[in-house]
Amino acid sequence: MPDTRRGFHEELEALQREILEMGELAGSAVQHAVHAVVFRDSEEAQAVIDADDAVDARYLDIDQRTLQTLALQTPVAADLRLVSAIIHVNLHLERTGDQAVNVAKLHLLTEDLPGSDTMRTQIREMGDLVVQMLRASMEAFDRRDLELSLRLPKMDDPVDRLNRASHLEALKLADDPSALDWGLHMNLVSRALERVGDQAVDIAEQVGFLITGEFREFTDASHEVQL
Amino acid sequence: MREIDVSSLSAWFGSKQVLRDINLGIERRAATAIIGPSGCGKSTLIRCLNRMHEEVRGARVEGKVLFDGEDIYDARVDPVAIRRRIGMVFQKPNPFPTMSILENAVAGLKLLGRLPKPELQERGEKALRAAGLWDEVKDRLGDPGGRLSGGQQQRLCIARALAVEPDVLLMDEPASALDPASTLRIEELVTELKDRYTVVIVTHNMQQAARVADWTLFMLYGEVVEFGPTSRIFTTPEDQRTEDYVTGRFG
Amino acid sequence: MSTMEMPREISSRRRTKDRAFSIALWACVVIALVPLLLIVYRVVRLGLAAVSVSLFAHTALPASFPGGGMKQAFLGTGMIVGLAVVISIPLGVLTGIYLSEYGSGRVAGVVRFTAEILLSIPSIVAGAFIWALVVVALGNFSALAAGIALTVLMWPIMARATEEVLRLVPTELREGGLALGYPRWRVILRIVLPTAGAGVFTAIMLAVARGLGETAPVLLTALGNDFVNTDPLKPTDAVPLRVYNYAQSAYPAWRALAWGGALMLLVGVLVLSVTARVLSIRQQRRMR
C-alpha cells in the first residue's frame, strides 16, 4: 500500500537526519574542546566556542519543527515515539554542545598555567571515551539498535573511574598554587566530560523508549546500576 | 497573491441568513481549509464561490466575490462560465452512471465543442493521472463509472474537475464519505494539487485541515472568527473561540 | 443485574386473536382476487377458442359468412394508439421534465394539479370533449380524433410518471453537471434523462397500456369501421369498440370473436404492464 502521508514521513526523515548531523557537530565539538585542553591550543578552544551558535540554531530549528509536526500531523505509535525521542535527544545534544563550550572556556581561563601531564592524559582518555559513547548512542538511534543502546551504561563506568582518579590527581598538585589552580579547573573539565557521558546514556534511554515503547532509566543517581 | 477576494459576502436561504458579512482572501496556489462546527456556514460559503448556492430555490447572495479582477456576482457574468474556471468536488462522489470511466473524466471537456478522440483520450489520461487514478483504471476505461470503489469514485470526480484545467478547485468535505485509507489518499492528493491549483477545502475534521492546508479559516454562526496560517491556528490561535474549537472544548 | 421476568409464552388468547386477524386478512385477499381470476379464466378459455389466423388476417364479415376476423380493428387500434403516442410523448415527457426540473413554482403546481384531475376523469368525458372539439370541427369521426382523445387520458400518466422517475435521479448528479459548467438544459439532456432512461420508457408504456383498453372515448370519436382504414381523418375501427359491438350481437360467431378480441386486449395490457414493472425494478437497482 502506498505511503499516504508521504509529506509527513519525509519530514520525519529530515528531522532524523538533522538530529544525526547535530550529533556529529556535538561530538566534534567535544573532541576539539578536549584536544584544545590537552594540546593547549587556544585557537581551537575559541573555534569551539564560536561553533556553538550553529548548534544552538539547529536546536531551535529542530525544536520548532517537532512542535509543528505535533500540532499539524498528530503523529501516533512509532511516529509519536520518534518525535518524542527527537525532542529529548535534541535537548541532550544541545547540552552536550554547551559542555564542550564549558571545556573550551575552562582552557582559555587556564591557558597560561602549568599543568600535569598525568591529568592531561586522563582528560584525553575521558574525552575519547565520552565521544565514543556519544557516537555509539547516535548510531544506536540511527540503526534502532537496542543491544547497542543497552551497552551504553557499561561504557560509562571507566568514565566515572577516570573522573574520580583525576580528582585524586589534582590533590597531588597542592604544592604549587598555580598548578593547583589549573588542576581544580581541570576537575571542572572532567566533570563536564562526565556530564557528556551522562547525556550519551540518556540518549540511549531514548533509543530504548523509541524501540520498545517503554522508558527504562539506565542509570539513576540514587540507585546502583542494575541490568 | 490573492486568487479570490471575498468582500462583505452575505447569504440567505429564504429569510434565514446563513452567512454574515464575510471578508476573506484566498491565496493562489495554496490550500485553504474552512473549519467550524456543523451549521456554521462553511458549505454555503464554498458554494458561493462558484455560484452554486443560488441554484437552490429561495437562495440569495449579497456582496462581492472578486476572481481574476472581476466580481463573479456582477449581472453581466454568466455563472456557467465561472464554473468552468472554478471547479467543485462534492462530499458524496457523483460520477455519472451512464458514462464510462473515461467519459466521466472528460465530461467537462465536451462543453468545449467537438474535440478529436485522441485528444480526449490524452486529456482524460492526464486528468486521471493527476488524480492518482490512472494506474488503477487504465485497463478498464470503458467500464461504467459507478463500478469503482468509493475512494476511486471520488478520485474520478476529482479527475473530472481537473480535466477542464480550472484555476480553482473547491472541495466540499471530499473525504467525509470515505474510509480512512481513502481519506488519507485524498489528502495526499490535495497536497500535490496545491502546487498547481488553488484549493479550497471544507472539512469537519480539524486534523485534516492541519495536515493538508496552508491557510485555515475558522467560522462560527455564519461569521469569520479567525483566518491565518494553519500552523498558527493550531499552535497559537488568536481568538479564544478558535482555541476552544481546535482543542475540542466545543463543537 | 436486573431481574426481568420474561413471559413464558404469549397468552393463548392473544395468539387466537392474532390468528383470527390473519385469517380475516387472507379472506379479504381471496375475495378480491377471486373475481379477477374468474374473469381471466373465462376470457382465456373463451378467447383462446377464437384465436386463429383469421382473427388477425381477415376483416369483418357479416355473421353468416364464416372466417371473419378483426384485422381492421387491430390495425385501427394500432393507428389510433400510434397517433396518441406520437402526440402525447413529446407533450407528456416534456411536461414531466418541466415539473421535475423547473417545477417548484405556482405554475408548476397548477400543471401538476391539472394532470392529477385528468388522471381521474371518466374516459367518456374525455371522449365527449374531443367529440365536441374535433369531430364537430372536422365534420366527421376520425382516428385522429380518437388519438387526441386518448392523448387526453395518456398525457397525465406520462407527465406524472416521467416526473416521478426524474425525481428519483439523485440531486448530486445534477450538481455535478452544474459544477462542471453545464447549462441546465445540458444537465437534463446529458445526465438526468440518460440516467432515468428506462424509467421514461416505462412511463410511456404505462400510458400506452391505458390507451389500449379505452372504449368510450374511441366510441365517440372514431365511430368504427368494418373495413381497414388508413386515413387518419376518416372513421376507424378499434379493438375495444369491435369487442363492445360484437359482444352485444345475437350471433354466436361474432360473440366468439369478441372473446378473442378481449383476450388480445388482456394480453396486450399484461405484456406492457409486466415489462414496465420489470424495467422499473431494474432501473431502481441501477440508481442505488
ipTM score for this prediction: 0.92
Predicted local distance difference test score (pLDDT) of residue C137 = 87
Residue C5 domain-assigned (yes or no): no
Distance to chain C for B27, nearest Cα, Å? 21
Are C243 and C149 contained in the same domain? yes
Residue C229 domain-assigned (yes or no): yes
Are C105 and C175 contained in the same domain? yes
Predicted local distance difference test score (pLDDT) of residue A24 = 96
**Record: contact B188-A4, CB cut-off 8 A:** yes
Cα separation of C180 and B79, whole Å? 11
pLDDT, average across residues C46-72? 82
Are C45 and C165 contained in the same domain? no
Cα separation of A53 and A90, whole Å? 15
* Total number of domains constituting chain C: 2
Q: Which is higher by pLDDT, C281 or B50?
A: B50
Chains that touch B (3 or more CB pairs under 8 A): A, C
Are C191 and C139 contained in the same domain? yes
Residue C1 domain-assigned (yes or no): no
Cα separation of B66 and B79, whole Å? 13
Taking the domain B2-246, which CATH number applies?
Answer: 3.40.50.300
Q: Are C156 and C65 in contact (CB under 8 A)?
A: no
Are C32 and C141 contained in the same domain? no
Are C44 and C187 contained in the same domain? no
Predicted local distance difference test score (pLDDT) of residue A225 = 47
Q: Are A139 and A145 in contact (CB under 8 A)?
A: yes
Residue C7 domain-assigned (yes or no): no
Predicted local distance difference test score (pLDDT) of residue A146 = 94
Distance to chain A for B35, nearest Cα, Å? 14
Q: How do the pLDDT tens digits run along chain B, 251 residues long?
A: 889 999 999 999 999 999 999 999 999 999 999 999 998 999 999 999 999 999 988 899 999 999 988 999 999 999 999 999 999 999 999 999 989 999 999 999 987 778 888 999 999 999 999 999 999 999 999 988 888 999 999 999 999 999 999 999 999 999 999 999 899 899 999 999 999 999 999 999 999 999 999 999 999 999 999 999 999 999 999 999 999 999 888 76
pLDDT, average across residues C45-57? 85
Predicted local distance difference test score (pLDDT) of residue A220 = 56
**Record: contact C180-B160, CB cut-off 8 A:** yes
- The mean of the pLDDT values for chain C is 88
Confidence bin at C288 (pLDDT 50/70/90): low
Determine which helix (DSSP H) or strand (DSSP E) holds B34, and give its type and residue range: strand B31-35
Chain A interface, mutation test: which of B152, B179, B184, most A Cβ atoms within 10 Å?
A: B184
* Tens of pLDDT, residues A145-204: 999 999 999 999 999 999 999 999 998 888 888 889 999 999 999 999 999 999 999 999
Are C30 and C100 contained in the same domain? no
Residue C194 domain-assigned (yes or no): yes
pLDDT value at C64 more than 80? no
Enumerate domains of chain A plus CATH numbers.
7-212 (1.20.58.220)
Q: Which three cell numbers stand for residue A126?
A: 575521558
Residue C9 domain-assigned (yes or no): no
| Chain B residues with beta carbon closer than 8 angstroms to that of C180 | 83-84, 87, 107-108, 111, 160-161, 164
Q: Are B49 and B170 in contact (CB under 8 A)?
A: yes
Are C131 and C213 contained in the same domain? yes
Cα separation of B99 and B143, whole Å? 8
**Record: contact C176-B90, CB cut-off 8 A:** yes
pLDDT value at C223 more than 90? no
Whether B96 has its CB under 8 Å from any CB of chain A: the answer is no
Predicted local distance difference test score (pLDDT) of residue C156 = 93
pTM over 0.95: no
Are C161 and C22 contained in the same domain? no
* Domain CATH code at residue C157: 1.10.3720.10
Are C139 and C281 contained in the same domain? yes
pLDDT, average across residues A25-34? 96
Tell me which residue has cell 469537519.
B204
pLDDT value at A2 more than 60? no
Q: Which three cell numbers stand for residue A43?
A: 585557537
Residue C156 domain-assigned (yes or no): yes
Predicted local distance difference test score (pLDDT) of residue A1 = 47
pLDDT value at A226 more than 50? no
Distance to chain B for A77, nearest Cα, Å? 16
Cα separation of B155 and B136, whole Å? 11
Predicted local distance difference test score (pLDDT) of residue A219 = 62
Residue C188 domain-assigned (yes or no): yes
Tell me which residue has cell 386515413.
C231
Q: What range defines the domain where residue C30 resides?
A: 14-50
pLDDT value at A67 more than 60? yes
